[in-house]
Structure 1
Amino acid sequence: MTNRLEGKVAVITGGASGIGETTARLFVQQGAKVIIADVQDELGRAVCNNIGSPEVISYVHCDVSNDTDVQNAVDMAISKYGKLDIMFGNAGTGGKMTPTILDIEYEDFKRVFDVNVFGMFSCSKHAARVMIPSKKGSIIFTSSVASVTFGDAPHAYVVSKTAVVGLTKNLLKHDAVKVLSSDTLRTYKIDGTICCWL
């Protein structure tokens, strides 16, 4: 296997476990330098230590619902590795499984949106801030097949992942980001904590 990502720098939110951890491992194997940005501090540091040296992979605390945390993760990529080529907005939350719309608490619905939608907005905004001047970069988001199948997941999760697809499509049409590529990875059921209600 060739080093397809040789010389590339990536920030992976939600990179301490699940899809994010697997992606971080693959990216480093393919020659990239990676920043894992996550709220699972102990696990994130352990994953970094397991994957490689601090020269190729680093950890930063990042709650994507906090715009400043996302900005700091991007700034760390720039200060440590000199650039950002790939932003993988993978952090997410499923919310509580509730039988009907009447059972959903406003704060739970809002929390899912804060992470899954506003978090991905912050990822795209701060990545674009450094990618547009360099006229290159890729912004990737994790969505879900729940954004097209409906009915198998909590309301907040389905609506938030549908919004992520909309964000991706709109990024591709916006004049300022035409130099970037943007895509959405729609996952099915993946073993892990976020899918405990499936």
Structure 2
Amino acid sequence: MTGILESILNTNKNDLDRMLGVNLIGAFLGAKHASRVMVPSKRGGILFTASSCTKIGGIASHSIWLLSCISPIGVLTGSDVDAKKERSNGKNLKAEDIAKAALYLASDEAS
């Protein structure tokens, strides 16, 4: 739905309302209705994820970021990883690190 907003200069309020309705309110309502099943059973979890595209995308990016708890924004891929290894002795965040965080948050251990 990010494609709804081409440019902030050409965006009208109706387009912004539509984008927020799909990206933010839709995600929120999905979580609301899922929680109606999870709360009585005292089980379950809701994970919101956002890609780096939502952060780079501009105005449309800010909606789901309000709810996100997992995002691969700091993950380096391909040649970026090799270049970073040459400049740093530290640990580079990898996609599998994000996946492990999601698995933990979705597990029974993460209350």
Identity %: 32
Q: CA deviation at 1:133?
A: 1.0
**Runs of 4+ with >2 A deviation:** 95-99, 144-147, 183-188
- Per the normalisation by structure 2, the TM-score is 0.53
Q: CA deviation at 1:98?
A: 2.9
Q: CA deviation at 1:109?
A: 1.2
CA change 1:137–1:185 in 2 (3 A) is farther
Question: Bigger radius of gyration, 1 or 2?
Answer: 2
In structure 2, how many angstroms separate the alpha carbons of the residues matched to 1:141 and 1:102? Answer: 29
5+ long unaligned stretches in structure 1: 1-92, 166-182, 189-198
Alignment of 1:21-36 (within 5 A): none
Specify the alignment match of 2:3 in structure 1. Answer: 95
Q: Quick one: which amino acid aligns to residue 153 of structure 1? A: G
CA change 1:114–1:125 in 2 (3 A) is same
Alignment of 1:37-186 (within 5 A): 93-99=1-7, 101-146=8-53, 150=55, 152-155=56-59, 157-165=60-68, 183-186=69-72
Q: CA deviation at 1:146?
A: 4.7
CA change 1:160–1:186 in 2 (3 A) is farther
In structure 2, how many angstroms separate the alpha carbons of the residues matched to 1:119 and 1:138? Answer: 17
Specify the alignment match of 1:82 in structure 2. Answer: none
- Per the normalisation by structure 1, the TM-score is 0.32
How many residue pairs match? The answer is 74
In structure 2, how many angstroms separate the alpha carbons of the residues matched to 1:102 and 1:126? Answer: 36
Q: CA deviation at 1:153?
A: 1.1
5+ long unaligned stretches in structure 2: 76-111
